[in-house]
Amino acid sequence: MLQAPQRTALSGPALIRLLARLADVDAPESRQSLSDRLSQWLGWTDAIALSSALSGNPPAVTAAARSFGSAEESEYVRARSSLAKTVTGDSVFAADRRRGSAHGSAHASSQNAPVEPAADYAVFRQRYLSIQQSMEMAIGNLRGRLRGMLATRTSAMARLAMVDAVMERALGERERTLLASVPGLLAGHFERLRAAEQATLAAAEAAEAAEAADDAGSDAASNAASNTAALTPGAWLNVFRKDMQSVLLAELDVRLQPVEGLLAALRAS
């Protein structure tokens, strides 16, 4: 007997694992090393700038360097918390709590349930892109301030700040392009959830109709009617909202990694 092949479990960031699951795609681990991938992403001008940052003389370190302390740590925490609240508190992603209430009696027909308004994915896509822009601006500003502070520490730290600046310029456009494609990947998940609920409701209504036509009132038909009453039309949309929030929060973690690296360097300096 043939068995369907199982997907290989990914070990990458939560964002990649979430997208692979929600987009229903098999994403095998890359066999390329990080250095090989970077060589493909960096243009020749980027490579020259990176080589200069690594091998050239770093700028002179000022004597009156501002000390790193709790203020910078608190700024990072505030920025992260603010961006996370932007995601979790957004009205577009808020669950429709009215769907938690009962829709009539146990014997009510699903046809009497409130009709789900047509959901437009374009609204979710646009909001996702808007939040991405907020993330990029806030994190970019924080990264620049931390990098400027790092450049005043020691020669080694100043060199690290130069490397970070080159990498941000070199990879920024590629990062924006890749992350801007995420909403498109979630469009399929949106449609699959909606189609699955529509199929379930159609099957339940058919079973309910069969019960009405069955004068004997069999146990199977009664069970079908009970299941129909328990269905909540439109519940799929709340599932999707929660999934999109999870993806945005996972993306936030990825975007903050360079900032966390700069913070770690400042703590050690």
Domain ranges of the chain: 41-51+66-91+117-268
Spatial distance between the Cα atoms of 263 and 151, rounded to a whole number of angstroms = 13
| Tens digit of each residue's pLDDT, the chain (269 residues) | 334 344 455 557 899 999 999 987 766 666 777 778 777 888 888 888 888 888 877 666 665 556 666 788 899 999 999 999 999 999 999 887 655 444 443 344 444 444 455 689 999 999 999 999 999 999 999 999 999 988 888 888 989 999 999 999 999 999 999 999 999 999 999 999 999 988 888 887 777 777 766 655 555 555 555 555 556 778 899 999 999 999 999 999 999 999 999 999 998 87
**205: which residues sit within 8 A by CB, 6+ positions away?**
109, 110, 111, 228
**pLDDT score for 68:** 64
What are the Cα distances from residue 137, in Å, to 45, 126, 144, 170, 216?
25, 17, 11, 17, 67
**CB-based contact 99:238 (threshold 8 Å):** yes
Token pair recorded at residue 29: 């681990």
**pLDDT score for 117:** 54
Spatial distance between the Cα atoms of 178 and 132, rounded to a whole number of angstroms = 12
Enumerate the H helices of the chain as residue ranges. Answer: 14-22, 34-41, 44-55, 70-88, 121-150, 155-180, 182-213, 219-230, 235-255, 257-268
**76: which residues sit within 8 A by CB, 6+ positions away?**
142, 259, 260, 263
* pTM for this model (two decimals): 0.80
**CB-based contact 18:138 (threshold 8 Å):** no
Spatial distance between the Cα atoms of 86 and 249, rounded to a whole number of angstroms = 10
Q: Which of 213, 232, 229 shows the shortest CA–CA distance to 108?
A: 229
Spatial distance between the Cα atoms of 28 and 59, rounded to a whole number of angstroms = 43
Helix axis angle, 70-88 to 257-268, nearest 10°: 170
Spatial distance between the Cα atoms of 81 and 256, rounded to a whole number of angstroms = 12
